[in-house]
Structure 1
Amino acid sequence: MRQQYDTSAPPVAFSVADAFMLRTALDALGGVRGLDALDVACGHGTTTRLLAGGGARRTVGVDDCPERIRRARAHGADGPGAVEYHVADAAGMPQLGPFDLATAVYLFNQAHDRAALHAMFRSVRANLRPGGRLLAIVPNPGAFPHVDWSPYGIRIVERTPGGDAPLLRARLETDPPVAFECREWAHADFAEAAVDAGFTTVSWQPVRTPPPCEVHDETYWARYRNAPVGSLMSCVA
Structure 2
Amino acid sequence: MQQQYDTATSTAGFTAADKFTLRMALDALGGVKGLDTLDIACRHGHTTRLLASGGARRAVGVDNCPERIRRARAHPGDDAGAEAIEYVVADAAAGMPRLGPFDLATAVYLFNHAHDRATLHTMFRAIRTNLRPGGRLLAIVPNPGAFPLVDWSPYGVRILDRLRDGDADAPLLRAQFVTGAPEPFEFREWAHADFAEAAVDAGFTTIGWQPARTPPACEVRDEAYWAAYRNAPVSSLMSCVA
Aligned length: 236
Report which stretch shifted further, 226-235 or 172-181. Answer: 172-181
2:80 alignment counterpart: 79
1:166 aligns with 2:167: no
The two structures have a TM-score, normalised by structure 1, of 0.96
Q: Cα 1:45–1:10, aligned 2, differ >3 Å: closer, same or farther?
A: closer
Q: Is the 8 A contact 1:4 1:44 kept in 2?
A: no
The amino acid across from 1:148 in the alignment is: D
1:222 alignment counterpart: 227
1:212 aligns with 2:212: no
1:24-39 pair list within 5 angstroms:
24-39=24-39
1:95 aligns with 2:78: no
- CA distance in structure 1 between the partners assigned to 2:15 and 2:174 by the alignment: 18
- CA distance in structure 1 between the partners assigned to 2:202 and 2:3 by the alignment: 26
Q: Which of residues 154, 168, 179 in structure 1 aligns to 2:157?
A: 154
The two structures have a TM-score, normalised by structure 2, of 0.94
Structure 1 residue 90, shift from structure 2 partner: 1.0
Q: Is the 8 A contact 1:97 1:128 kept in 2?
A: yes
Two-structure CA RMSD over aligned residues (Å) = 1.7
1:63 alignment counterpart: 63
- CA distance in structure 1 between the partners assigned to 2:180 and 2:159 by the alignment: 17
Q: Cα 1:9–1:25, aligned 2, differ >3 Å: closer, same or farther?
A: closer
Q: Cα 1:9–1:107, aligned 2, differ >3 Å: closer, same or farther?
A: closer
The amino acid across from 2:84 in the alignment is: A
Structure 1 residue 178, shift from structure 2 partner: 1.4
SS at match of 1:17: helix
- CA distance in structure 1 between the partners assigned to 2:99 and 2:87 by the alignment: 11
SS at match of 1:75: coil
Report which stretch shifted further, 75-84 or 192-201. Answer: 75-84
Deviations for 1:13-60, whole angstroms, at most 9, x for unmatched residues? 000000000000000000001000000000000100100111100010
Deviations for 1:69-103, whole angstroms, at most 9, x for unmatched residues? 00000014423352110111112211100000000
Q: Is the 8 A contact 1:4 1:68 kept in 2?
A: no
Structure 1 residue 4, shift from structure 2 partner: 6.9
SS at match of 2:74: helix
Deviations for 1:136-159, whole angstroms, at most 9, x for unmatched residues? 000000011000000000000110
Q: Which of residues 137, 141, 144 in structure 2 aligns to 1:141?
A: 144
- CA distance in structure 2 between the partners assigned to 1:106 and 1:220 by the alignment: 23
Structure 1 residue 3, shift from structure 2 partner: 9.2
Q: Is the 8 A contact 2:8 2:156 kept in 1?
A: no
The amino acid across from 2:106 in the alignment is: T
2:115 alignment counterpart: 112
SS at match of 1:219: helix
1:48 aligns with 2:51: no
